[in-house]
Amino acid sequence: MDLAADTGKTSAMAARPLDLVIFDFDGTLSDSGDWFVSVANDLAERFRFRKIAPDEVELLRRKSSREVIDFLGISRWKMPWIARYVRKLVSREAHRIELFPGTPHLLERLVDMGVKLALVTSNSEENARKILGPRYAAKIHCYACGSSLFGKAPKFRRVLRKMGVAPHAALAIGDETRDVDAAREVGMRAGSVLWGYAAEDLLTGMSPDAVFRTPEEIVHYVSRHRG
């Protein structure tokens, strides 16, 4: 049974066939949450922003990306430097980060349906390929990596142009509020997974086009919207 929760009224866009699914990586395909928490306070010390107390982790899951940055007191000008440093850390410690258990099957099923897949992430392509492994990295038709924290919309547009897909025929899937915002900015459907970073009530409050509790629900949703 398909348990994916379609939110809001059925629109003309939602009735059109899906040809492309664009995934976020960290917290959506890869289970990197615990790793990020483990290095957060080292980053705070290095880049001089507020450290996270153990009892604040759940609190931060209920804040938007911008609210988290403000809460931690991270200066905007530092963010590119932090992102670059984190990508280096991930490269060194990729062996500690695994895919979510359902990711391999999800990618295989979508490709078998004839759906094109893309990856848009602030992580590097090298890191994503390393964590995916050769077999599953080859399932991704287009990589647009290294985006800034709030720079996904331009990457989405680039992917759409490269793949020759109209926005209404694409679904962007992520685990944070900024993923929903970027998808809407470009005119794509937005899907939110509930196994990643942001808390369920925060994501459902964004009213994405679909909410997914399991990878299998993504398969069912896409299958229903293939036309």
Distances (CA, A) of 103 to 51, 215, 219: 32, 7, 11
Percentages helix, strand, coil for the chain, rounded to the nearest 5? 50, 15, 35
Residue 7 has pLDDT above 50, yes or no: no
What is the pLDDT averaged over residues 53-60? Answer: 85
Residue 15: pLDDT band by 50, 70, 90 thresholds?
low
**Predicted local confidence at residue 9, as pLDDT:** 38
**Percent of the chain topping pLDDT 90:** 67
**Predicted local confidence at residue 13, as pLDDT:** 58
Residue 146: pLDDT band by 50, 70, 90 thresholds?
confident
Q: Range with the lowest mean pLDDT among 48-57, 108-117, 147-156, 188-197?
A: 147-156
CA distance 186 to 168: 9
Report residue 18: phi and psi, to 5°: -95, 130
Beta strand 210-212 pairing with 142-145: unpaired
